[in-house]
Structure 1
């Protein structure tokens, strides 16, 4: 299918809020609730591993390095699946790909629940990671199906569902991990995934907005290879050594493959990622801001649990249990849910650019608070809530910014790519914070633990990253300019050379 044909199909499809009242979905509330539930289930899938991480080598009868692949495999699978599922959703149906993603999550949960060794656990976690595209697919379905007056708040809620599921799921996962067999965590994950799948089958319609065309298999393989090399180097760099040949080789390979991939995407007529769209000012700056914001938001998830769990004898640890950690982090999820309507209201009246900038400032304020308020549980609850409010505001704005600048036929692919940039930022933050905390340590008996100044430094870096996201968002165009850029036809791709002799 040519670009012209896609444009004709897209122009013929209804935009959100353009349908006559009688054609709007009758079960709008059910649709939003089901899609938000699907997003929360995916987040829970990631959260349930947190209580198990220290015990994985013992539980799986494996070395520490082998056991960590249960975490790394999910990261790599999610990075690969997110852009692929987004493009397939645009081509063949977003609901269809949403169902495929949820079924992969259920299958992975069952495999992990039946595992007692590293190989089946890694296989199960890989299948679970392939469900990472659920949230961008859900946001894209909302754009196709919801009336304009409901779209903003629904997108804000869906965007925040990742944080909501993580914050609310951690105390539940910790409670279960302390009282039942650890396999139950995966049975619960699988059961909730099956429930979400059933609700999607019954209550979510299939959108008629599709681009059609041929799937860019070469582009998918190229991007997957580049992402795997990059994220593997980031996630394993501290273990292998940042200057080791293996780490540097993977980073170099990712750069080379990414360059070749970009050249292919610009030359093929039906690319996996339309780079001509991604370099539009609003899309490009939003993706950069998302990566920086993803870097910023990880500081809270890394620092607060460690400060809470370190022994009181260190002088700054609070000696709390994992269940208490979950209860401290929980309010951030509730706040994210509470600010979703506020995020939508600011976006509607002032534009999503202002919402993103506001969210970045609030996150920076929460991190700066933590530098001086780190000595009591109530202080960390306050930090968690303030930071959660900023994340909720920003997460509601990012999809709105993307969708305001891309054609309706590219919604899922564009949202998926934005989610991917945020994940890359989060992975980079993990590596940077790990280096800082490894260098800034203090002796505690026979052990060496991160120092209080190390934790403060990580939070200060997070605050600086949030303020950097604010600056990037400041240069986003206004709503009128974004709409004009979205509606401007993209230049035709260069024809793909025919094989010799054809």
Structure 2
């Protein structure tokens, strides 16, 4: 196994900016898949001639596929080359987009969306490539930029998708994503070098199967619980299977020689509390996406709705994506001078401040823009710090798996947000024009819960050990052991 360190692969100084730009663009394109079909959801039953329950799988399938792909691709990237697996992920995105573009019924569209979800591992793999090929002095800012792309793509995807959905045939959404995927593949092939850091060994198929089972059943229970009933036999069965699968997975990973995810590293204080904080930050990120479009589009006759179009609702969200990218250099500077723990805690407080504004008022479009900018700034700070904390605690040969697991924790947070906010908005309703809609109080309560999640992230981050040494090396490989983990039997 190679144990080369940061910058060894040989990215020339003049090429580092190009590498970072290409990888960040790849991350944005992949993150766009999260919001690609959101503007279409109300129209999908009519467009596909099926029920709303069936079309809901167009969103759920992407979530489930991503949950499986992220840890698996991370480990395979450590074994066979991160750039190689990154290209595989982008290829799956293009394949899924083409299938979606050619679909006229719900089943092939679900298949296409599943392939798009399999590309979710691109962002953590891109971060890991950066650790291996960039010089140390460029690493903190580059990692912050790449990490922020997860939020940037989601925020910018909504207005872009709304614009296309409003003025063009819906299939054009998928042709556009396919074209973007092809462009990114070409850019990666032309400018991103392969890392020579390899974990070696064999793939942990049983670990992948048990983790995938646990994740799929958990996410099904979370995403479908409101439809099936939170106390229904099916929901409870999913949760029981999930708990059993996770218990077996943890036992197996502790006893196999070459685990999919090194549990001993994962439960280390720095990695554990970073991942727990990531769940809370992911929750806070998605709550805004659930509240703002509804408040903006509800009619003014409700007394609190702002009567805007879906395109206007998307445009309100767009500044948060821009600010995430702009804040990335600030996140890197704080990490360099004070350490990534401080950056994460600062980001959590900024997110909480943004949501607290929404707890008291959501009465004007400009206020929602302001709140989205504040929350976006906090997300940019926090997301930039997480990979630095993870990579400062794991060996170079495990960065793909570790970053992928951290990305998975963020995704779990967004799933929890969808479930919790869905319950709040479904239970606290009023009648408007004979239709039941969420009450004003429901939106304020959801904002308060999201603020609480951000405060929880701050508290969890406080338990992360303070980095010992120069914070500028917080994402350097020297902060983690470079020897492989001893085999376990």
Category of TM-score, reference length = shorter chain:
over 0.9
- SS of 1:317's equivalent? coil
Residue matched to 1:192: 180
CA distance in 2, matches of 1:289, 1:165: 21
- Aligned partners of 1:201 and 1:120: how far apart in 2? 29
2:107 aligned residue (104, 119, 140): 119
Aligned-pair CA distance for 1:26: 3.6
1:96: which partner in 2? 84
* Change over 3 Å in CA distance of 1:35–1:488 after alignment to 2: closer
Query: Is the partner of 1:27 in helix, strand or coil?
Result: helix
1:299 corresponds to: 287
Question: Which residue matches 1:148?
Answer: 136
> What is the CA-CA distance between 1:488 and the residue it aligns to?
8.9
Partner of 2:217: 229
CA contact (8 A) 1:405 1:485 kept: yes
Alignment of 1:487 with 2:481, yes or no, is: yes
Tell me whether 1:167 sits opposite 2:169 in the alignment.
no
List structure 1 segments (4+ residues) > 6 angstroms apart after TM superposition. 481-485, 488-491
Q: Deviations over 1:329-368 (max 9, x none)?
A: 1110111111000000000000000000000000000000
Matched residue SS, 2:194: coil
Please say if 1:40 is aligned against 2:28. Answer: yes
What is the rounded CA distance, in whole Å, between the counterparts of 1:132 and 1:367 in structure 2? 27
Conserved? CA contact 1:267–1:493, under 8 Å: no
8 A Cα contact 2:396 2:482, kept in partner = no
Alignment of 1:80-479 (within 5 A): 80-479=68-467
Q: Contact 1:294 / 1:423 at 8 angstroms: preserved in 2? A: yes
Contact 1:24 1:145 in 2 (8 A): no
What is the aligned partner in structure 2 of residue 54 from structure 1?
Answer: 42
For each residue in 1:176-235, what CA deviation from the matched residue of structure 2 results, as whole angstroms up to 9, or x when unmatched?
111110000000000000100010111111110111110111111111111111101110
Offset at residue 163 of structure 1 (A):
1.4
Q: From the superposition, tell whether residues 263 and 237 of structure 1 become closer, same or farther in structure 2 (CA, over 3 Å).
A: same
CA distance in 1, matches of 2:462, 2:214: 30
The structural deviation recorded for 1:370 is 1.2
C-alpha separation in 1, matches of 2:234 and 2:124: 33
Q: Deviations over 1:127-157 (max 9, x none)?
A: 0000000100000000011111111111111
Whether contact under 8 Å (1:293, 1:425) holds in the other structure is yes
Q: CA RMSD in A?
A: 1.6
Structure 1 residues 113 and 449, CA gap change in structure 2 (3 angstroms): same
Q: Which runs of 5+ in 2 are unaligned?
A: none
In the alignment, is the contact (CA less than 8 A) between 2:396 and 2:480 conserved in 1? no
Tell me by how many angstroms 1:169 deviates: 2.3
Shift of the alpha carbon at 1:377?
0.5
On the 8 A contact 1:78/1:132 being kept in 2, the answer is yes
Candidates 5, 13, 20, aligned match of 1:14: 5
With 117-126 and 486-495 compared, the bigger mean Cα shift is at: 486-495
Alignment map for 1:22-33 (pairs within 5 Å): 24-33=12-21
Structure 1 position 494, deviation (Å)? 3.2
Q: Which residue of 2 aligns with 1:3?
A: none
Distance 1:56 1:33 in 2: 35
Taking the aligned partners of 2:260 and 2:481, their CA distance within structure 1 comes to: 20
* TM-score with structure 2 setting the length: 0.96
Measured after TM superposition, the shift of residue 373 of structure 1 is: 3.0
C-alpha separation in 1, matches of 2:256 and 2:332: 37
CA gap 1:252/1:493 in 2 versus in 1, 3 angstroms: farther
With 240-249 and 442-451 compared, the bigger mean Cα shift is at 442-451
TM-score (norm 1): 0.94
In the alignment, the residues of structure 2 paired with residue 349 and residue 197 of structure 1 have an alpha-carbon distance, to the nearest angstrom, of 35
Are the counterparts in 1 of residues 276 and 409 from structure 2 also a CA contact under 8 Å? Answer: yes
Q: Take 1:413 and 1:388, find their aligned partners in 2: how far apart are those partners? A: 27
Distance 1:384 1:289 in 2: 20
Q: Secondary structure at the match of 2:119?
A: coil
Structure 1 distance, partners of 2:484, 2:396, is: 14
CA distance in 1, matches of 2:95, 2:404: 22
Shift of 1:262: 1.1
